[in-house]
Amino acid sequence: MKAFPTVSGQTGMDLRDYFAAAALPAAMADPDTQKTSQITWQDFYVCAAIIAYRTADAMMKAREM
C-alpha cells in the first residue's frame, strides 16, 4: 500500500515506510532507546530504526481492524 498517490508515473512511498519515518524521531528521542542500544552511535541508529519499524508494523496491523 502506498502512502501517496502515483504522480507522473512515479510510485509513492510505501505506507509502512511513511509510518516508520513518522515514528523515528520519537524513537530517537526516547531515553530507553539510548539505554537499549550499546555504546556506539551505529547501534543507537539501528535500535531506533528497529523500534520505528515495529511501531509502523503495529500501525499497519491496527489499520486491518
The pLDDT tens digits of the residues spanning 3-48 come to 777 777 777 789 999 999 999 999 988 887 777 666 677 788 888 9
Count the alpha carbons within 13 Å of 22 in the hemisphere toward its beta carbon. 12
* Cβ contacts of 12 within 8 Å, gap of 6 or more: 2, 3, 4, 5, 6
Closest C-alpha to 37, from 22, 51, 53, 19 = 51
- Say which residue, 54 or 36, is predicted with more confidence: 54
What length does the chain have? 65
